C-alpha cells in the first residue's frame, strides 16, 4: 500500500516523469481526484504501482497533491468526475504484476450476466418466470405422453400387421412430441441463448418412456385372453 507522506528521493535521481498510463492530453490533477474519490481506482493504483505515490506517477509534486486534496475537502457539492476508460495494467517483466484489465479485485475475471434470446439481461424475476414455464412444459409433455400412449392402442387396434402397428405407433409418438414443441414456442419461454435447446430437451426422456409404457400397458390389458371362468362348478 502506497503512502503519501514523505516523498521518496533516490541518490542521483531527478524529478520523476509521468508513468506510461498517464495521458499527456489530460489534466494530471484529474488522476489525483480519481485517486481521492474512487476507492476502486485507488486500490488499482496501489496494487500496480506500490513504489510510487499518485502525484509522482502523474508528474506532479506533493504540494500539488495537498492542494488538490484540500480543494476537494472544501467543496460542499458532490464532485462529478468524468468517466474514462480504465487504464491498462502496466507492462513489466516482473511476474508479480499480472497483465489484464483493471478490476476491483486482482485476478478477477469479468463475467457477463445471462441474456435471453433477445440479448437483454435476465433479472431474478425473469429467471423465476422462465423456470415456471419450463415446469409447465415438462408436465404438458408428461400428460401428452400418457394420453398419447393410451390413444395409440385404440387408434391403431385395427392394424393387424405387428411391424406396421409398431412403427405407426412410434410415428404417432413423434408427431405428438412435435406438437408439444409448437405449443412450447407459443408459450414464449425466453431461455438464455445458451439454453435454447431446452425447448426440445425438456422432459424428452420422460415423454418417450411414459408413452411407451402407457402404450404397452394399455395394449396388453386390451388384448388379455377372454376366458369364461365359472365360479360355481357345474354351471
Please indicate, yes or no, whether residues 89 and 155 belong to a single structural domain of this protein: no
119 domain-assigned: no
Please indicate, yes or no, whether residues 103 and 128 belong to a single structural domain of this protein: no
Q: Check the CA dihedral 200-203-205-207 and report its sign.
A: negative
> Cβ–Cβ contacts within 10 Å for residue 212, how many?
16
Please indicate, yes or no, whether residues 7 and 88 belong to a single structural domain of this protein: yes
CB proximity list for 194: less than 8 A, separation 6 or greater:
114
Task: Using the 3D structure, point to which of 60, 82, 111 is the last residue of a domain.
Answer: 111
Task: Using the 3D structure, point to which of 111, 133, 157 is the last residue of a domain.
Answer: 111
The range of the structural domain enclosing residue 49 comes to 1-111
Q: Give the model's pLDDT for residue 72.
A: 83
Please state, in angstroms and rounded to a whole number, the distance separating the CA atoms of residues 216 and 214.
Answer: 6
Please indicate, yes or no, whether residues 3 and 83 belong to a single structural domain of this protein: yes
Helices (H), the chain: 28-37, 39-48, 54-57, 62-74, 124-155, 162-186, 198-201, 204-222
Closest to 3 in 3D by CA, of 54, 63, 39: 54
Q: Give the model's pLDDT for residue 186.
A: 87
Please indicate, yes or no, whether residues 192 and 98 belong to a single structural domain of this protein: no
128 domain-assigned: yes
Task: Using the 3D structure, point to which of 111, 143, 166 is the last residue of a domain.
Answer: 111
72's grid cell: 476537494
203's grid cell: 422432459
Q: Give the model's pLDDT for residue 197.
A: 85
58 domain-assigned: yes
Question: How high is the mean pLDDT in each 10-residue block of the chain (235 residues)?
Answer: 44 60 87 89 89 88 88 65 56 49 48 52 75 90 92 85 86 92 86 81 91 90 68 47
Tell me which residue has cell 404417432.
172
Amino acid at each position: 500500500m502506497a503512502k503519501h507522506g514523505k516523498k521518496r528521493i533516490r541518490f542521483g535521481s531527478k524529478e520523476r516523469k509521468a508513468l506510461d498510463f498517464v495521458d499527456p492530453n489530460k489534466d494530471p490533477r484529474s488522476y489525483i481526484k480519481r485517486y481521492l474519490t474512487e476507492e476502486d481506482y485507488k486500490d488499482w493504483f496501489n496494487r500496480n504501482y506500490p513504489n510510487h505515490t499518485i502525484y509522482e506517477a502523474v508528474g506532479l509534486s506533493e504540494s500539488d497533491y495537498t492542494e488538490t486534496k484540500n480543494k476537494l475537502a472544501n467543496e460542499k457539492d458532490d464532485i462529478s468526475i468524468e468517466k474514462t476508460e480504465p487504464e491498462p495494467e502496466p507492462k513489466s517483466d516482473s511476474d508479480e504484476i499480472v497483465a489484464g484489465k483493471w478490476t476491483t479485485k486482482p485476478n478477477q475475471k469479468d463475467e457477463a450476466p445471462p441474456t435471453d434470446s433477445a440479448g437483454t439481461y435476465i433479472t431474478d424475476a425473469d429467471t423465476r418466470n422462465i423456470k415456471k414455464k419450463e415446469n409447465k412444459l415438462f408436465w404438458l409433455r408428461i400428460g401428452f405422453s400418457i394420453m398419447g400412449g393410451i390413444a395409440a392402442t385404440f387408434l391403431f387396434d385395427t392394424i393387424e400387421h405387428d411391424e406396421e402397428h409398431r412403427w405407426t405407433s412410434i410415428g404417432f409418438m413423434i408427431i405428438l412430441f412435435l406438437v408439444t414443441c409448437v405449443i412450447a414456442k407459443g408459450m414464449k419461454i425466453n431461455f438464455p441463448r445458451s439454453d435454447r435447446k431446452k425447448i426440445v430437451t425438456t422432459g424428452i426422456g420422460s415423454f418417450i418412456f411414459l408413452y411407451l409404457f402407457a402404450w404397452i400397458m394399455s395394449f396388453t390389458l386390451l388384448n388379455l385372453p377372454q376366458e369364461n371362468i365359472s365360479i360355481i362348478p357345474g354351471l
